[in-house]
Amino acid sequence: MVDVDSFIDEKIDEIATEVGDENAVIALSGGVDSSTAAALAYEAIGDQLTPVYVDTGLMRKGETEQIRETFDYMDSLRIVDAKDRFLDALGGVTDPEEKRHAIGEGFIREFEREAKETDAKQLVQGTIYPDRIESEGNIKSHHNVGGLPDVVDFEGIVEPVRDLYKDEVREVARELELEEIISERMPFPGPGLAVRIIGEITPEKVEVARESCHVVEEELEEYEPWQAFAAVIGKATGVKGDNRVHGWVVAVRSVESRDGMTARAQEIDWQTLQRIQSRITGENENVARVVYDVTHKPPATIEYE
């Protein structure tokens, strides 16, 4: 991207041309990528646009309420409660790629339903450059790229930030005067907490992942990580009170990166790690153990699945 202002002008023109006088839905997740795509599309086509936020039940703590507040100014915002549908679709699924596909398909079906109701023929997405590269190289299928089902009931898919890296998207977001809470937001994957849970997704594991992620984000704020979170990675033996338990193992991850393609595990001081451990095991009855992930990317990925 050469110049932010011209980029914005060009994209607004492009979106207006691509969408024409049809209606569009925007897949809004509240992250910086989709919010920036949404803001550009709103500038371009105004009322022809319906931003759709799908609550998959795999969101961060308080995320849905926050979206409601932040995008309150967009009258046509629709918040879809799809928690049960996603949980059903993920029941019994343990393979990471199958999970991504189930989620990708779930998203598309939700949007199709919303699109039908608003007579929208175009789907806007916040896909960015690294999403495409990693999907094309089969490193993983992003729910919004490789995970798309074969039959998609839209005439066109518009991806205004598809050639940008995350830091460039942030520049555009700042220029568009999106709130800081959005423009500086830590990346959160489209499949949400599902890629922070190894094996089958169950309501209990989702709750442990959500609460633990919240603790990690709070406790590591001062380290300004590129991304920090917790994941539920298995079960192990522990002692709680007077009893031996077989509880969840929660991994804490905090990384520095430019674009997510490579990353370095952050050095965190012992007291902070202990505070995180004590909060996570204290606040979640069934967590027996907390570990810190010291692996860079490569060889590890940032997320766990």
Count how many Cα atoms sit within 13 Å of the Cα of residue 265 in the half-sphere of its side chain: 17
Number of residues that bind ligand XMP (CB under 6 A): 16
Return the number of the residue (142 or 205) whose C-beta is nearest ligand XMP.
142
Q: Least Å distance between CB 111 and ligand XMP?
A: 15
Binding to ligand XMP by residue 227, rule CB under 6 A?
yes
Alpha carbons 199 and 184: distance in angstroms, whole number: 31
- Residue owning tokens 């060009």: 10
Q: Report the nearest approach of ligand XMP to the CB of residue 52 (Å).
A: 16
Whether 198 and 301 have beta carbons less than 8 Å apart is answered as no
In the complex, least distance from residue 141 CB atom to ligand XMP, rounded to whole angstroms? 7
Closest CA to 48 of 74, 9, 69: 74
Closest CB 102 distance from ligand XMP, rounded Å: 12
Residue 17 or 138 with smaller CB distance to ligand XMP: 138
Contact residue for ligand XMP among 11, 99, 101, 142 (CB under 6 A): 142
Residues 282-301 that bind ligand XMP (CB under 6 A): 297, 301
User: Which residue number, 51 or 189, has a Cβ lying nearer to ligand XMP?
Assistant: 189
Residues 159-198 that bind ligand XMP (CB under 6 A): 187, 189-191, 195
CB of 162 to ligand XMP, least distance (A): 13
Identify which of residues 225 and 247 has a Cβ nearer to ligand XMP in the complex: 225
Instruction: Tell me the window of 48-56, 86-94, 139-147, 151-159 that interacts with ligand XMP (CB under 6 A).
Output: 139-147
In the complex, minimum distance from the CB of residue 302 to ligand XMP, in angstroms, rounded to a whole number:
3
Looking at the Cβ atoms of 77 and 102, the one nearer to ligand XMP is 102
Q: Which CB, 122 or 144, lies closer to ligand XMP?
A: 144
From candidates 140, 205, 214, 253, binder to ligand XMP by CB under 6 A: 140
Which 95-114 residues touch ligand XMP, going by CB under 6 A? 100
> Minimum CB separation from ligand XMP for residue 50, in Å?
21
Query: What is the 3-state secondary structure of the chain?
Result: CCCHHHHHHHHHHHHHHHHCCCEEEEECCCCHHHHHHHHHHHHHHHHHEEEEEEECCCCCCCHHHHHHHHCCCCCCCEEEECHHHHHHHHCCCCCHHHHHHHHHHHHHHHHHHHHHHHCEEEEECCCCHHHHHHHHCCCCCCCCCCCCCCCCCCCEEECCCCCCCHHHHHHHHHHCCCCHHHHCCCCCCCCHHHHHECCCCCHHHHHHHHHHHHHHHHHCHHHCCCEEEEEEEEEEEEEECCEEEEEEEEEEEEEECCCCCCEEECCCCHHHHHHHHHHHHHHCCCEEEEEECCCCECCCCCCCC
* Interface mask toward ligand XMP for 247-266; x: CB under 6 A: -------------x------
User: Site residues (CB under 6 A) for ligand XMP?
Assistant: 100, 140, 142-144, 187, 189-191, 195, 227, 260, 297, 301-303
